[in-house]
Structure 1
Amino acid sequence: MGHREDLLAGAKACLLEKGWVRTTARDIVAASGANLASIGYHYGSKDALMMAAFIKMTEEWGDSMTRALESGAPAGASRAELLTAKLDTLTAGFEESRRFWELQLEVVGQLGSNPELKKWFAGVFPEGRDGMLTIFEGLGRPADEETKRTSGAFYHALFIGMWVQWVIEAESAPTGAELVEGMHRVLAGLAAGPSPAPAGGVPDGREG
């Protein structure tokens, strides 16, 4: 590998070991065997190099997860069973890439003080929603804008909620079956149960 690739590999290793805030340019140089000047030459700055490394890790995770989901789909499964299996496969992927998802949470925490990183996150939302449609619906082509804004946004929100809950406390994170059951309950209006009668036993504030 050349210095550019060495730096990228070194930055990836440092991010996983030390995180976004604690990684320094000297750490990356030590891990890559390159030199400080090469960071500016190839990437412009340490932050640009770390962003490139973070993007690369995200792409690599997406590729590996797509393969896992394709190989793990049960034959002849119902829509609910298929979605349950995919959600459980995603959760298993969090465990296999624990440090990467902890890093994701740290990086999100930097968005308020890093405009360039925030701009990048916002810029890849359409691509992220497309990726979620590929994961959950098996779409092998870019979706239209309406599908991205509805189904893609829903899957994206579900996925973000899944990994945040998992990183905070994996033991209490919902299973695929629980999430699918939750969707059924929300759509059927069963999430809250029947509304309690007000004090005095007169429903809806109307006199009997």
Structure 2
Amino acid sequence: MGNREDLLAGAKRCLMEKGYTATTARDVATAAGTSLAAIGYHFRTTKALLNEALAEAMAEWGEELGRALAQDAGPDATPEQRFEAAWERIIESFARLRPLWAIQFELIAQMDRAPELREAFATANRQARLGLAEIFHRLDPAADEAAALALGGFHQALLGGVAAQWLVDPGSAPSAKELTRTLRTVAGEFGQRRPGPGRPGPDGAPGPRSAT
């Protein structure tokens, strides 16, 4: 590898070990086995180097997660079984990819001061939503992009929420089975018919009275 590739590899190692804000130019140069001047020559600034290294690391993470989720639960699997199998693989990946999840949450607080990061994350978020809709619902994003973005947004919100819980306390974060059971409960509640005026609700309580 040349100095540029060495610097990117060294920056990625530092990001995984130290995080974004704690990584210095000297850290990267030492990890890459290059001089400090090489950073300025190839990237102009340490921030530009870290941003490119982060983009590469996130792309690699996305590819790894995509490969894991692409493993089908079986041709006869129900949507519920596919959902649970996918979440088992996602949760297994948290331990391997913990530093990248931590960096993403670290950078959210800095996006107002780093518009280039906001733009990069927005682009990555859009692609992630389309990919998640394709994985979980077998929906071709090109066929119905609006539906794919909406469905993918739901799964992305779930993914980020579970990741946050896992980073804080892995032992108490929901399992794939618990997520499946809870989603079934919520879907069942949405499917319940709302009691009409005077009719008892599902718990036996009277329904709302009509205005007279």
Short-chain TM bin: 0.7 to 0.9
Please give the residue correspondences for 1:68-79 in structure 2 after superposition, counting only pairs within 5 Å: 68-71=68-71, 73-79=73-79
Q: Partners of 1:181 and 1:64 in 2: how far apart?
A: 27
Partner of 1:50: 50
Q: Partners of 2:64 and 2:131 in 1: how far apart?
A: 13
Q: Partners of 1:111 and 1:6 in 2: how far apart?
A: 27
Q: Is the 8 A contact 2:6 2:32 kept in 1?
A: yes
Larger relative contact order, structure 1 or 2 (CA cutoff 8 Å, min sep 6): 1
Partner of 1:14: 14
Partner of 2:30: 30
Q: Which stretch of the first structure deviates more once superposed, 46-55 or 102-111?
A: 102-111
Structure with greater helix percent: 1
AA aligned to 1:89 is: R
3-state DSSP of counterpart to 1:22: coil
3-state DSSP of counterpart to 2:9: helix
Structure 1 length-normalised TM: 0.83
Query: How far off is 1:104 after superposition?
Result: 2.3
Do structure 1's residue 109 and structure 2's residue 96 form an aligned pair? no
Consecutive aligned runs of 4 or more in structure 1 exceeding 6 Å deviation: 193-197
Query: How far off is 1:66 after superposition?
Result: 2.3
Q: Is the 8 A contact 2:73 2:81 kept in 1?
A: no
Query: How far off is 1:69 after superposition?
Result: 2.6
AA aligned to 1:25 is: A
Q: Partners of 1:118 and 1:136 in 2: how far apart?
A: 26
**Please, which runs of 5 or more residues in structure 2 have no aligned partner?**
191-200
Please give the residue correspondences for 1:123-202 in structure 2 after superposition, counting only pairs within 5 Å: 123-138=123-138, 142=142, 144-189=144-189
Query: How far off is 1:203 after superposition?
Result: 7.6
How many residues were matched structurally?
Answer: 201
Pair 149,67 (structure 1): closer, same or farther in 2 beyond 3 Å: closer
Query: How far off is 1:173 after superposition?
Result: 1.0
Q: Partners of 1:60 and 1:163 in 2: how far apart?
A: 18
Query: How far off is 1:109 after superposition?
Result: 2.8
Q: Is the 8 A contact 1:126 1:148 kept in 2?
A: no
Q: Is the 8 A contact 1:51 1:117 kept in 2?
A: yes
Please give the residue correspondences for 1:85-100 in structure 2 after superposition, counting only pairs within 5 Å: 85-100=85-100
Q: Is the 8 A contact 2:133 2:139 kept in 1?
A: yes
Pair 66,149 (structure 1): closer, same or farther in 2 beyond 3 Å: closer
Partner of 2:193: none
Q: Partners of 1:188 and 1:138 in 2: how far apart?
A: 23
Q: What percent of counterpart residues are identical? A: 38
Pair 33,69 (structure 1): closer, same or farther in 2 beyond 3 Å: same
Q: Partners of 1:72 and 1:149 in 2: how far apart?
A: 22
